[in-house]
C-alpha cells in the first residue's frame, strides 16, 4: 500500500466531511490549520485569491474549473482542494485532507462531485503527471484509462450512489440517465468529495481515488464480464492495464499502481 | 461526444467524434431513436473521430446493439483506432458486435 493514508480518509458513509466554506475567501481558521499542518506562515496559507500566493503549501479553491485547476497545479504545491459551500465556516473545520502528508514526489487533489463530473479529471491529472515528468506518452494512455475508470466509479457508483446493475434492466439506460440528473441536482450529493492522491518513485506510480459513497464488496466483483453485458468493465480494464489494483475502505478507495 | 447523421435508403451512418464516456448517457436515447427510422437495415457507427471510449461508452454500444437487434437492424462499428481500438479489444465486444477493421 506504500503507506497510503488517503485510503483511510473518508468519513461515515454518505456523510459530508466537516469541511468548510467559501466563495470569495478562505476562512482564517482553515488557513491557520493549513499553516500549522504544512509549516507555512498563516499569511501565506490564508489566501483569498489562492492562485496569487506563491509561498503557500496548499492551494484552496473556492470554485474549480479546468483552467483554475491547471493554474493551481502550476504552482507546484502538494495540496489542491476545492472548498465546498456548506457550513459557511461555522462548522468544525477538521477536514480529512489536512491529514494528507505532503510528499515531495506527489500531489493531492480534492474536488466536489459536482465539479469533478464532466471535468475529465483523469486528463487533468495525467497532464499534470506529464508536466512533472512522471508520465511518458507511451505510459500515459493506460494510466489515463485506469484512472478515468476509477474516478467514474467513484463519482457514479460511489458519491452519486447509482448501482451498476441499473443499466442491465429493460430500458435501464433511460433510468440511469434520469438518476444521474436527479443526483447531480441534489446540492448535498454534489458536494461529496472525490480525492485523488498521486505519488511516485523513479520506477513506480501509485494513485488513490477516494469517494464518500456507501462503498461496495470488492470481493464480489467478477473477474471477467460477459461480452454482452452493459456494465462492469471498468475493473476489467484496470486489472488488465495496471500493475496492481487494490480496493480498500469498504470499496471507497481504489489504489492503482503502475510501473514507470 | 458529438455525432453527425448521414442517411441513405437502408443505411444510417453516424459519425462519432470526441470522447464517449460516462457523462454522455444523455445522448444515448437520441441514438436509439435513430433506429426507429423505417426501412433501416444497417446502422453504422463511424468511430474515426472518436479519441477515447471508457467502459460506460462500451456499455452504450452494447445497448445500441441490443436495440438494433430487436429491430432486425445490423449494427456495425467502423474505423476504430488508437485508444478506442485498445478499449474495444480489451472489452472483447467483437464477439457480439460486428466490427469492420
CATH number of the domain that residue B55 is part of = 3.30.750.24
- What are the pLDDT digits (tens) for B53-92? 999 999 999 999 999 999 999 999 999 999 999 999 999 9
Reply yes or no on whether the pLDDT at A141 is more than 70: yes
CA distance B78 to A147: 27
Task: From chain B, pick out residues whose CB is under 8 angstroms from the CB of A176.
Answer: 25
Task: From chain B, pick out residues whose CB is under 8 angstroms from the CB of A180.
Answer: 25-26
Q: For A55-64, which contacts have Cβ atoms below 8 Å and span 24 or more sequence positions?
A: A57/A102, A58/A34, A60/A22, A60/A26, A60/A30, A60/A34, A62/A22, A62/A23, A62/A24, A62/A25, A62/A26, A63/A23, A63/A115, A64/A111, A64/A112, A64/A115, A64/A119
User: Which of B18, B19, B25 is the best substitution to test chain A (most A C-beta atoms within 10 A)?
Assistant: B25
- Domain residue limits at B65: 2-100
Helices assigned H by DSSP within chain B: 28-34, 55-70, 82-91
Number of C-beta neighbours around residue B26 at 10 A = 12
- What are the pLDDT digits (tens) for A172-228? 888 999 999 999 999 999 989 898 999 999 999 999 999 999 988 777 776 666 666
Q: How many domains does chain B have?
A: 1
Provide, for chain B, the percentages of residues in helix, strand and coil under a 3-state DSSP scheme, each rounded to the nearest 5: 40, 35, 25
User: Which of B55, B64, B89, B98 is the best substitution to test chain A (most A C-beta atoms within 10 A)?
Assistant: B55
Identify the pLDDT of residue A225: 66
Q: Helix (H, G, I), strand (E, B), or coil: what is residue A64?
A: coil
Helices B55-70 + B82-91 axis angle, to 10 = 70
Task: From chain A, pick out residues whose CB is under 8 angstroms from the CB of B28.
Answer: 173, 177
Q: What global pTM score does this model have?
A: 0.83
Task: From chain B, pick out residues whose CB is under 8 angstroms from the CB of A117.
Answer: 23
Identify the pLDDT of residue A77: 74
Flag if B29 and A155 touch (Cβ within 8 Å): no
Q: pLDDT grade, residue A8 (50/70/90)?
A: very low
Q: Which three cell numbers stand for residue B75?
A: 449494427
CA distance A146 to A122: 9
Q: Which three cell numbers stand for residue A218?
A: 470488492
ipTM: 0.94
Amino acid at each position: 500500500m506504500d503507506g497510503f493514508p488517503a485510503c483511510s480518509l473518508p468519513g461515515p458513509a454518505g456523510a459530508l466531511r466537516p469541511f468548510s466554506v467559501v466563495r470569495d475567501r478562505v476562512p482564517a481558521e482553515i488557513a491557520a490549520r493549513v499553516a500549522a499542518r504544512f509549516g507555512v506562515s498563516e499569511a501565506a496559507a490564508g489566501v483569498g485569491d489562492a492562485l496569487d500566493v506563491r509561498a503557500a503549501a496548499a492551494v484552496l479553491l473556492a470554485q474549480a474549473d479546468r483552467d483554475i485547476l491547471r493554474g493551481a497545479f502550476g504552482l507546484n504545491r502538494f495540496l489542491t482542494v476545492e472548498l465546498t459551500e456548506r457550513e459557511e465556516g461555522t462548522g468544525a473545520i477538521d477536514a480529512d485532507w489536512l491529514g494528507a502528508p505532503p510528499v515531495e514526489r506527489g500531489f493531492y487533489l480534492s474536488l466536489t462531485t459536482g465539479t469533478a463530473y464532466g471535468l475529465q479529471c483523469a486528463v487533468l491529472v495525467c497532464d499534470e503527471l506529464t508536466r512533472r515528468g512522471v508520465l511518458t506518452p507511451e505510459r500515459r494512455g493506460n494510466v489515463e484509462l485506469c484512472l478515468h475508470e476509477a474516478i467514474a466509479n467513484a463519482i457514479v457508483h460511489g458519491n452519486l450512489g447509482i448501482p451498476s446493475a441499473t443499466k442491465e434492466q429493460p430500458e435501464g439506460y433511460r433510468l440511469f440517465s434520469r438518476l444521474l440528473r436527479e443526483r447531480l441536482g441534489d446540492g448535498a450529493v454534489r458536494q461529496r468529495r472525490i480525492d485523488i492522491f498521486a505519488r511516485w518513485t523513479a520506477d513506480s506510480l501509485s494513485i488513490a481515488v477516494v469517494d464518500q459513497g456507501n462503498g461496495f464488496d470488492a470481493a464480489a466483483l467478477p473477474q471477467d464480464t460477459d461480452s454482452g453485458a452493459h456494465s462492469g468493465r471498468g475493473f476489467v480494464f484496470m486489472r488488465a492495464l495496471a500493475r496492481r489494483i487494490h480496493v480498500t475502505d469498504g470499496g471507497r478507495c481504489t489504489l492503482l499502481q503502475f510501473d514507470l | 461526444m458529438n455525432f453527425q447523421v448521414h442517411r441513405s435508403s437502408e443505411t444510417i451512418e453516424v459519425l462519432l467524434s470526441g470522447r464517449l464516456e460516462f457523462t454522455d448517457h444523455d445522448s444515448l436515447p437520441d441514438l436509439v431513436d435513430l433506429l426507429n427510422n423505417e426501412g433501416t437495415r444497417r446502422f453504422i457507427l463511424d468511430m474515426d473521430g472518436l479519441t477515447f471510449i471508457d467502459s460506460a461508452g462500451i456499455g452504450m454500444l452494447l445497448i445500441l446493439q441490443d436495440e438494433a437487434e430487436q429491430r432486425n437492424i445490423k449494427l456495425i462499428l467502423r474505423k476504430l483506432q488508437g485508444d478506442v481500438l485498445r478499449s474495444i479489444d480489451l472489452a472483447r465486444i467483437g464477439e457480439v458486435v460486428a466490427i469492420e477493421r
